[in-house]
Structure 1
Amino acid sequence: MNTPDIKIRLVTLADAPALLHIYQYYVQQTAITFEYDTPTIEEFEKRIRNISLGYPYLVAYADNKILGFAYLSSFHPRAAYIWSAEISIYLSHDVQHHGIGTLLYNELEKIAAAQNILNINACISLPKTTDTHLPMTSIYFHKKNGFKKVAHFHDVGYKFNTWFDMIWMEKSNNIHPSPMTPFIPYPQIKKDFFA
């Protein structure tokens, strides 16, 4: 698979079954997500709708097949945190290491800048030792894309009869002006990114 063949677009609710199929693998086979049960299609559609009210939710595809998805979401509901966002990504487990994640992240970072988001944070589960349910790929991916570890929590997730740590990684704009320009919800600027 060549990266130039990959296209990025906004999610639609019609994508929910394909996205849920990708996510189901991570729920059932990995500790990358700490969810135990695969969400229903209705719950997954609700998540897409809620996130899309304020943030970009993107899919990567080639030949009309969805290969993965990534989105920004609220870092914390209190007003003072509005200039920070959490980033999440899930790729079909058989298409990793082809640059798809980096394409998605590059697009999300451009949109985040247009929304006046200054800090992008990733919550990542971490194994204590080599674990078949939790490879280190997410940490390596985020490091490669300029994220730095900023927090480490011990024994916070229990899945597959194993305790896992969790870290936060951050990519931050070095300039934090004051006064700060307002956060712009994504629907107000999406025409500038996707027709």
Structure 2
Amino acid sequence: MSDVTASGLSFPEIKEEHLPEVLDIYNYYVLNTTVSFHMEPLNLAEMRNSVLNGDVRFKSYAILRESELQGYVLITRHKNKQAYDATGEISIYLKPGCSGQGIGGSALRFIEERAVELEFHVLVATVCAENESSLKLFRKNGYEQSAYFKEIGTKFGRRLDIASYQKIIG
């Protein structure tokens, strides 16, 4: 699944060599935004655990243009109970400076196609409600808001809402 798309992007599975850059991208969001609700930066071992989990269905993919990492996209478990096995939680993290170039939409289309191949039925995305660019991306691509939780997290001294969006894909 690393063929180059029409947008010039490829989506190989994340490997050990991608981890330092993936960690930098994620920690940028931890330290500077409300995209992640982590409060402290992750270390390399924690990131490895997060994106290289060994599960054949719940995988993480690098977003590459030529050989340069633009971000990463992943499917994780929605809940750790067997009844949810046909539901995947998706996340897209772009390298700072890479938004507004269509990369997020390409990554979303890729992960949806991959999820269909892996026999997922529903994809869920949970987003901080002030993250307008992510909300717009999911809405534009057919995701419907399925939940809204007010003041569920606190970061940077502010109470934050989250919204969950879902799309039935199979």
8 Å Cα contact 1:148-1:169 kept in structure 2: yes
CA distance 1:52–1:67, change in 2 (3 Å): farther
Between 1:82-91 and 1:97-106, the stretch displaced more is: 97-106
Higher relative contact order (CA 8 A, sep 6+): 1
Structure 1 residue 159 corresponds to structure 2 residue 162 = no
Q: 1:142 aligns with which of 134, 138, 150?
A: 138
- Distance in 2 between residues matched to 1:13 and 1:52, nearest whole Å: 16
**Do the aligned partners of 1:59 and 1:69 also contact (CA within 8 Å) in 2?**
yes
Is 2:15 the counterpart of 1:12? Answer: yes
Q: Which runs of 5+ in 2 are unaligned?
A: 1-5
The answer as to 2:62 corresponding to 1:59 is yes
Match of 1:97 in 2: 100
State the SS of the aligned residue for 1:71. strand
Q: When the two structures are superposed, what TM-score results if normalisation uses the length of structure 1?
A: 0.80
Please state if 1:124 is matched with 2:127.
Answer: yes
Over the aligned positions, Cα root-mean-square deviation in angstroms equals 1.5
Residue of structure 2 aligned with 1:168, choices 155, 164, 167: 164
Q: 2:74 aligns with which of 65, 68, 71?
A: 71
Residues 58 and 104, structure 1, Cα contact 8 Å, conserved in 2: no
> Bigger shift: 51-60 or 14-23?
51-60
The percent identity for this pair of structures is 22
Q: Deviations along 1:80-116, whole A, 9 cap, x unmatched?
A: 1111110011001201011111111111111111221
Aligned residues: 165
- Amino acid of the residue matched to residue 101 of structure 1? G
Matching residue of 1:183: none
Distance change >3 Å, CA 140–CA 51, structure 1 → 2: farther
Q: 1:51 offset after TM fit, Å? A: 6.0
TM-score w.r.t. length of structure 2: 0.91
For structure 1, the residue ranges without an aligned partner over 5 or more in a row are: 128-134, 176-195
Matched residue SS, 2:53: helix
